[in-house]
Each structure stands twice: as C-alpha cells, then as structure tokens.
Amino acid sequence: MLALALDKLGVPFSGTWQIDEAEAKELAGAIVSVAKLYDMTPSPHVVAWSNLIGTTGVIYGTRYAAYRVQLEMYREQQRQRSGDAPPVTVDEFGNVITV
C-alpha cells in the first residue's frame, strides 16, 4: 500500500521501502502488542467518517491526477507557443515527448 501511495504522489518507488516476510511478521506482532493495550473499538461515527474520507479520496484522487496531467500538457503548450521551450509532442496518454 505504501508503494501505491508513493506512486500517486509521484515519488519513485525502487523497492527501498519493501519489507520481506520476516520483517512483515515482526511488524505485525508489534502492532498487535500495542493494540492489546488499548480499546481499539471505533465508534460508528469514526467508521462513517473514515469511509466517507476514503471513498472521497478514491473518487477524486484519480480525477486530480488526470487534472494534473492535463494542466502539464496545457503549460507545455503555452511554453511552446511563447518560444520558451523546445518543440514537444504529447502522446495519447498525455506523456510529453521532447523533439
């Protein structure tokens, strides 16, 4: 999940943050140990708000990513028109290809 979050933020993921099976078990055990110390039963209000925030993020997060691509394409076209940038081509996926 961390890799997906970093990818959405535009952070390159090279496997540095990936943990192996032994580390995952150790981390899970530590989380369980801490959870046993506290009453971790969430109220229905917390669950409802968490679901709303998560659903909103999934729906609008992808739209925001698409908007950023469109914005970069627009800015690149503006730079190209003003002569500040070398000529570029934008492929069907929105990737800017420098000529």
pLDDT-derived band at 14 (thresholds 50, 70, 90) equals: low
| pLDDT higher than 90, residue 41 | no
Contact 16, 2 (CB under 8 A): no
Taking Cα atoms as reference points, which of 95, 99, 66 lies closest to residue 80? 99
Average pLDDT rounded to a whole number, residues 60-65? 90
Whole-angstrom distance, CA of residue 24 vs CA of residue 35: 16
pLDDT at 4: 64
Q: Does the structure show a pLDDT above 60 at 84?
A: yes
Prediction pTM value:
0.41
The span from the CA of 1 to the CA of 58, in Å, is 14
N- to C-terminal Cα separation, the chain = 36
**What is the average pLDDT across 47-59?**
95
